[in-house]
Structures are given as C-alpha cells and as structure tokens.
A and B are shown apart, each in its own frame.
Chain A
C-alpha cells in the first residue's frame, strides 16, 4: 500500500467527497484525521469505517472558517503526531444567490471557508511537513470557470482557490511539497441537493459523454493519485474530473440525429 505510515488530514472529511477521499487514502494505508464542523455523527461514523480498514482515524471538530479553530486543530496535530504528510482541503460552504443579492456577510462566509482556510491550513501543514515533504490537494469546482445559476460566490471562491494552488505549488516546491487541485462537475452528494434540484441533475446527464454522473469515489481516485509519488511532477494544476462535461458542445447532439 503506497500510503502506508502516512498521516493525512481531510477537512470536511465526514461526508460526501471528503468521506470518499478519507476512505480511499485509508485503503492505501494512511492514518486519517477527519475534520468536521456541523455533523459529528457522520464524521464519527466515517472514522469508524476508516478504522475498520486497519488504520488509525480520529474525528476532530474545527470550523475552518475561523482562523483560531484552524490554529487549535493544527496545534493538536502538532502536539499529538508532530508531523503531517497529506492535507486535503475539502471543506467548503456557500450561499446560493444571484450576483445582485450578494452581501458582504455571504461573501465573507464563503471566502473564509473556501479560500482563506485553504491558505491558513496550507501554511500550518507546510510547517508540519518540514524535512519530509508532503502533498496538499484542494477541491475546486467547474463553477470556477463555468457559470451556474446562483453559484457566483462559490464559483469566484473556487477560481481564487485554483490561483492560490498555483502560488502554493511554486513557493512550497523547494520544501518538497506537491500542491494541486481537483475540480469536479456535478457530484452526487448531499451538497449537490442543497444547490441544485434533481431535475438539473438529470439535465446534465445527456451532456456528460462518460454516460453517468461523477461519484465521490471518482474524485477520490484522482486525489489519491495526486497523493502518490507517481504524480510528483504534477504541480499547481487543476485536474478536471467531469466525464467530459466541460468540453462537450451541443453540436454532437445534432450529429446524433442524422
């Protein structure tokens, strides 16, 4: 198992894509710290499921939107483990509104969790990776360059996250840290149901050439690859996992009719 003996922190690791990533890294031998915020039950269940794979797991509560809570979490990791090998910045939030309805409160809430937290976690993680190198992977979204209804704040936050990833990749390279981002299209999770209804989900299927929606496991597989040494030369990139959704054009639908 390629991640044997490694320690990974997955923010928002209790459910959805974060849970799938936590389980995937655990299946490759990594010990996992599952950060959660609102749902202790799912995080503790995920920790149990990880332990069943024969590695160590710990669920800890930290709102990554609050810098003091990020510090507390990393102080705990530093005191208890003294190091970290992998940081998965997966925790995200957002307020679904048209641009004209965005206020500073919704903006700050989203930016603090989706972007600032990734910077602050990367800074603290890099120190725990001192002398051993590491991997930092963040989760973005195709909404960073595609425009979806009421997705403006989240889309902008993800665009900023992708830019942050490029800067981190270059500036942390001398420390032996690989930094990348994975951007998925519509992934079947609870969060998706929050933003978009089932109807929109169904509408996307015909324009996804791979023939099915992206699953959390599809995303986790790519994240796990980026955490492996085989991905050593991939730096600062946004890897898209969307079954061809973002490059498909309606012209192919016309072609099928002929």
Chain B
C-alpha cells in the first residue's frame, strides 16, 4: 500500500467516511472530520510512519492532499532519500 492509501484508510476508519469519498482535494470539513478526528488521525499517522507532525504544521493543511504530501516528505527525510 502507498503512503496515500494508508493515510486514506486511517482517515476513513476514524471519520467513518467511505474511502472512495476521500480525494486529494477533500478538506477535513468535506469528510466531516472534527478537531478530535484530526488529532486522532495525526496520532495514528505519526505512529504508522514513525514521524512527528507538529500542530502548527497540521493547521496549514488545506486538504487531504496537503496532509499526504507532508507525510510523504517526512517519510522521505526520515529514510534519507
């Protein structure tokens, strides 16, 4: 599974929204993620990929695509790619 697919699965599990409805353009509001959902998603993603996502960075995510891009970048840096 790609990073994007794994994050989509986590978001879908937490928000109980069907995975097919979560696109790169979806905002947290679109997928009915409240602030608790977002924190829980951040924690789950952090643990899955062994990275840290500061709140101040997460607040800049405009949509799911930004979230995925941040994690992809974080994972690449961690692996020294």
Q: A residues engaging B (CB < 8 A)?
A: 38-41, 61, 63, 95, 105-106, 109
Contacts and interface: CB of A to CB of B under 8 A. Distances in A.
Contacts of B56: 41
B43 to A, nearest CB: 6
A152 to B, nearest CB: 15
A106 B39 CA distance: 12
Interface in B54-78: 54-56
B36 A106 contact: yes
Contacts of A109: 36, 40
A63 B43 contact: yes
B36 A95 contact: yes
B43 A39 contact: no
B54 A40 contact: yes
Across chains A and B, which 4 residue pairs bring their CB atoms closest together, nearest first? Answer: A38-B55, A95-B36, A109-B36, A106-B36
B52 interface: yes
A38 B36 contact: no
A46 to B, nearest CB: 16
Contact of A40 (B36, B39, B52): B52
Given A61-B52, A63-B43, A95-B35, 10 more contacts: A38-B54, A38-B55, A39-B54, A39-B55, A41-B54, A41-B56, A105-B36, A105-B40, A106-B36, A109-B36
Nearest to A37: B43
Nearest to B34: A95
Interface string B19-54: 000000000000000011001100100000000101
A40 B36 CA distance: 19
Nearest to B52: A40
Contact of B39 (A38, A39, A41): A38
Contacts of B39: 38
Contacts of B40: 105, 109
Contacts of B55: 38-39
Nearest to B40: A109
